[in-house]
Amino acid sequence: MNNFLFVAAENDALYNCKAGGMGDVVRDVPRQIASRGDKAHVVVPSYGRLHQEGTLKTTLTFNLRSTTYIAELYEVKPKKNFDNIHYYVIHHPEIEAGDIAHIYHNDPTEPFYTDAIKYFIFCTAVAEAIKNEAFGKIDIVHMHDWHTSLLLFLKKFHGGYRVLEKARFVYSIHNLAIQGIRPFEDNYSSVKNWFPDIPYDTESLKDYRYSDCINLMAVGIRYADAVHTVSPSYKEDILNASNPPEFIGGEGLEEDLQKADNEGRLVGILNGSNYKNIRTAEKGKIYLITINAIFKWLQEESKKYKADFLAHTGEKVAKYLVEPPEFICSSVARLTEQKFYFFKRSPNAFVEILKKLKKINGAFILLGTGAPDYEELFRKISYEHENFIFINGQSEDVIDAIYLESDLYFMPSLFEPCGISQMLAMRNGNPCLVHYTGGLKDTVSHLKTGFSFDGTTYEEKIKNMLEVFDLALNIYFKENVKWKKIQDNAKKMRFTWEKSVDEYYKLLYSINQ
């Protein structure tokens, strides 16, 4: 039996511990591993809340900032229990909940300032737990994104954690654009401040653009035994330099990625999706479910600043209870440059889509929270266009209803390492309209399982996006047989975790099954 440890910032196997697709992966992969007879331990930060009903397993004592830190390791109950999986959170008062999904902090003037601090503490606590065999003797440590790569820094440079060398460390890239860049020194949130007694090599840790800073995403790529991107096409994309906005590639780390590829350490494996025991919504209840969610949000103190807008949204949704639209286009995503750059830079193109929908009694439903400027943009458009329902919150019930009730799922990502939303929409038989990039290339086939657009220039991409949207509407309303075939093809697609984890064992974990 192999003993795995998954280390991540999110885990959707726990309640209220997800901000994006990483949470789905960290939920699903351990279940596959456990089903094969191996043991999986999954640890995330507590964020000051997830430990409250857990069982204290041990205290962890370590040194940071020339000060003794004591953290607590709790075992916690998941949404669903599985044999051979144990779920943990690490609690320390300085590992606080952020303003993004109660996980990440948004530090607009100094990016990663707060998050770096809490993940410095978290990773050192995890290293101490491994050293103390709190999870037993670990064979494989699977880290996810920059929040966890400090484990490799400790493995390489910290004399107190040489025991980490006994395990194989693999590193998954979920979002290469978010790199966790912090100064080496002269800052409270710096390497030197938190690890003043560790002799480290700045040359091997530095960001190529900012030589006085560590790049924690790069640390994961440079020091992991294997590096993993969450789709084959995204792997090919990031080996090339970015040329935004026409092409998003290696984001300044293409040399590191090329080196890892040449060394046989870089692999692209498509994420999977669940097709059994899934949450489902009740057909025909999307507007009622949305109104119920809005009433709940209106009672939350943290939503007071957007209460007027939520009430406005509820009023718009209530009208659809009586006279629902004839066509629903939808999106569910974090409101970021990655997901909605095209709409932010070209809001007129989005308004054009809304006008096209209005002509056919259609509506666009967008659910998400995220960057303040994106939230502000979509709130403004919502006030101006009655057929745009902007649900500025997070609700699993509403999301399930959206996937069930939509006619066309829109995913205009500027870049996409893999994407899970298109898989969930296709699982429900909803064709997707996507930008032809990254994992979307691997999952949506134009006019077979959905629709895609591309272009050699930004202007061409916007033009093609609108033309393909027209094409999708035309097929839906005028070519019913063709639309039904695309629907059926989408629903038949199977991106299974069984297949993906087969490749994990072979290419990432170096385990023969």
What DSSP letter does each residue of 301-347 carry, written as one string? GGGGGGHHHHHHHHHHHHHHHHS--SEEEEEE--BSHHHHHHHHH-H
Alpha carbons 384 and 333: distance in angstroms, whole number: 22
- For 398-410, what is the mean pLDDT? 96
For residue 86, the model assigns a pLDDT of 98
Q: How high is the pLDDT of residue 121?
A: 98
State the pTM of this model. 0.91
What single-letter amino acid sits at 132?
N
pLDDT tens profile 105-160? 989 899 999 999 999 999 999 999 999 999 999 999 999 999 999 999 999 999 99
Q: Are 6 and 42 in contact (CB under 8 A)?
A: yes
CB 112 within 8 A of CB 213: no
Q: Say what the pLDDT of residue 512 is.
A: 81
Compute the distance between CA of residue 313 and CA of residue 292 in angstroms, rounded to an integer: 12
Q: 155 with 170: CB under 8 angstroms? A: no
Mean pLDDT score across all residues of the chain: 96
Each residue's pLDDT tens digit, 176-221: 999 999 999 999 999 999 999 999 999 999 999 999 999 999 999 9
Per-residue model confidence (pLDDT) at position 513? 66
What is the residue-wise DSSP string for 353-402?
Answer: HHHHHHHTTEEEEEE--B-HHHHHHHHHHHHH-TTEEEE-S--HHHHHHH
Tell me the three state secondary structure of residue 52: coil
| Region 360-388 average pLDDT | 96
Query: Strands across the sheet with 327-332, in order?
Result: 388-391, 362-367, 327-332, 408-411, 432-435, 450-453
Q: Give the highest mean pLDDT range of 4-8, 243-247, 271-275.
A: 4-8
Over range 443-465, report the average pLDDT: 97
- pLDDT grade for 99, boundaries at 50, 70 and 90: confident
Helices 396-405 and 286-298, axial angle in degrees (round to 10): 160
Q: Which residue, 262, 454, 503, 255, is CA-closest to 342? A: 454
Provide, rounded to the nearest whole percent, the portion of the chain with pLDDT above 90.
93
Distance (Å, rounded) from C-alpha 287 to C-alpha 144? Answer: 36
The two structure tokens encoding residue 217: 């995403």
Q: With 70 as the cut, is the pLDDT of residue 412 above it?
A: yes
Mean pLDDT computed over 279-297: 92
Q: How many other C-beta atoms are found inside a 10 Å radius of the C-beta of residue 510?
A: 12
Whether residue 275 is predicted with pLDDT greater than 90 in this model: the reply is no
- Cα 334 from Cα 103, distance rounded (Å): 13
How remote is the C-alpha of 251 from its chain's centroid?
Answer: 17
Question: 509, 287 in Cβ contact below 8 A?
Answer: no
Helix (H) or strand (E) holding 141: strand 140-144
CA atoms within 13 A on the CB side of 441: 16
Q: CA 96 from chain center: how many Å?
A: 19
Q: Report the percentage of the chain scoring pLDDT > 70.
A: 100
Read off the pLDDT of each residue in 35-51 and give the average, rounded to a whole number: 97
Q: What is the pLDDT of residue 8?
A: 98
pLDDT band with cut points at 50, 70 and 90 for residue 19: confident
Question: What local confidence, expressed as pLDDT, does residue 278 receive?
Answer: 81
For the sheet containing 140-144, what is the strand order?
Answer: 55-64, 67-75, 85-91, 39-45, 3-7, 140-144, 168-173, 226-229, 266-268
